[in-house]
């Protein structure tokens, strides 16, 4: 290559860098940081992790309200961490689609894909999609054999305070879709989560050690729990959520690990369950560590061909990974099931199995109307109860704990 050609390439490179820098300066003038201006390519092929994180870094250091903008298009991202604290309130506006690496071999982080962390007054919005490409990884999932398996959660919200997640979608996660940990006053609204009913361990929204979480006006269709509460969850509200397919809305499982924190305060209201393997469920391990789970209200719920609409199971022992002969030591108390109606695919529509060592306390069941709709047998739905003396209010179909 001759001298003149080198000079032309050098000039071109300088012009490109100058244009990029000018775009960033222009964006900064109005507080909008477009990932395209930081080198992102919406081709679904090239890795945009650095461009996304660079845009975030500039926005996070902005002295007034700022926005990271991901415009329409398909953006491949191996992994990204959007971390605070930031100098001012910040939003992440996802209008396009963020695409995860296929399979498991190319993952930059074996436990996380997209993480938002240590933020206050944060907003995630825009109507866009996080696509986990789970179909390429589910055949490699060995969690049913190995309880210490490591698979990437699609979206982690860690230590967010006074923040809002609204109008985004998560599709085909490799593991959990959304994990909420150490958050306070976090609102999720109009969230759309989807994965096939046979996709393993694709919990919709899992909550742990967080207080004041609200999930509303959302559609969750997945292969595991639509919403699940782990230890340390407090004051959680789930309202106007459509769940199904999936495993329902669950507290637990609790008691498997040492030093688990108590779960206190859950309201599930005005939700619909369609074709789920469970409706609302509280589950603890036998031979468990000590713990408490209390103050739960399940009210105004519709079950559409749900296999197990109402469940308290203190003998939860998947894959026989426990000693079921030793009672659970998790104390369950102050639980209300009210105005739950619809159809059950199993004859046993209500199943309340409490601990022999610490029976459930203050359980109220009121205005239940669950009709058996299975094809293998005739007759009305039934209930089964052990180690509990519930307060019965209003109508009971089936007759409960008689």
Backbone φ and ψ of 72, nearest 5°: -55, 145
Give me the half-sphere count of Cα atoms (radius 13 Å) on the Cβ side of residue 157: 27
Q: Return phi, psi of residue 275, to 5°.
A: 65, 25
Q: Which are the contacts of 270, defined by CB distance < 8 A and separation ≥ 6?
A: 239, 240, 299, 300, 301
State residue 24 phi and psi, 5-degree precision.
-65, -40
Instruction: Report the C-alpha gap between 321 and 343 in whole angstroms.
Output: 32
Closest CA to 392 of 336, 320, 352: 336
Q: How far is the C-alpha of 329 from the C-alpha of 164, rounded, in Å?
A: 36
Q: Would you name the residues annotated as active-site residues?
A: 247
Q: How remote is the C-alpha of 349 from its chain's centroid? A: 26
State how far the Cα of 15 lies from the Cα of 21, in Å rounded to an integer: 10
Q: From its phi and psi, is residue 82 left (phi > 0), alpha (psi between -120 and 50) or beta? A: beta
Q: Which two tokens stand for residue 105?
A: 């071999």
Instruction: Please check whether residue 266 is in contact with residue 296, taking contact to mean a CB–CB distance below 8 angstroms.
Output: yes
Closest by alpha carbon to 177, among 146, 219, 143, 140?
219
Q: Which residues of 52-90 are buried (b: 16+ CB within 10 A; e: fewer)?
A: bbbbbebbbebeeebbbbbbebebbbebbbbbbebeebb
């Amino acid at each position: 290559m001759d001298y003149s050609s080198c000079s032309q390439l050098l000039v071109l490179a300088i012009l490109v860098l100058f244009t990029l820098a000018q775009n960033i300066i222009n964006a900064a003038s109005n507080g909008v940081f477009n990932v395209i201006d930081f080198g992102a390519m919406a081709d679904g092929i090239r890795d945009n992790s650095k461009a996304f994180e660079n845009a975030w870094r500039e926005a996070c250091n902005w002295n007034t309200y700022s926005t990271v903008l991901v415009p329409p298009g398909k953006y491949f991202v191996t992994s990204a961490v959007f971390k605070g604290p930031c100098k001012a309130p910040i939003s992440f506006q996802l209008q396009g689609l963020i695409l995860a690496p296929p399979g498991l071999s190319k993952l930059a982080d074996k436990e996380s894909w997209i993480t938002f962390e240590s933020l206050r007054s944060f907003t995630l919005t825009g109507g866009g999609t996080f696509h986990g490409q789970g179909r390429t990884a589910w055949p490699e999932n060995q969690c049913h054999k190995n309880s210490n398996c490591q698979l990437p959660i699609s979206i982690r919200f860690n230590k967010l305070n006074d923040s809002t997640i609204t109008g985004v979608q998560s599709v085909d996660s490799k593991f959990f879709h959304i994990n909420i940990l150490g958050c306070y006053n976090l609102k999720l609204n109009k969230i759309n989560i989807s994965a096939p009913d046979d996709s393993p361990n694709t919990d919709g929204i899992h909550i742990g050690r967080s207080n004041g979480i609200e999930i509303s006006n959302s559609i969750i269709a997945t292969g595991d729990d639509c919403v699940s509460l782990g230890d340390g969850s407090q004051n959680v509200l789930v309202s106007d959520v459509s769940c199904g397919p999936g495993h329902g809305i669950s507290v637990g499982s609790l008691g498997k690990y040492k030093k688990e924190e108590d779960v206190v305060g859950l309201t599930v209201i005005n939700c619909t369950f369609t074709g789920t393997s469970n409706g609302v469920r509280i589950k603890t391990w036998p031979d468990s560590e000590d713990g408490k789970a209390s103050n739960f209200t399940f009210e105004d719920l519709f079950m559409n061909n749900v296999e197990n609409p109402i469940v308290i199971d203190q003998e939860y022992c998947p894959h026989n990974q426990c000693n079921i002969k030793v009672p659970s030591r998790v104390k369950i108390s102050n639980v209300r099931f009210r105005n739950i109606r619809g159809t059950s695919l199993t004859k046993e529509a209500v199943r309340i199995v409490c601990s022999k060592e610490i029976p459930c306390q203050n359980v109220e069941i009121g205005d239940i109307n669950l009709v058996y709709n299975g094809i293998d047998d005739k007759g009305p739905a039934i209930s089964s109860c052990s180690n509990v003396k519930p307060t019965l209010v209003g109508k009971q179909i089936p007759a409960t704990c008689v």
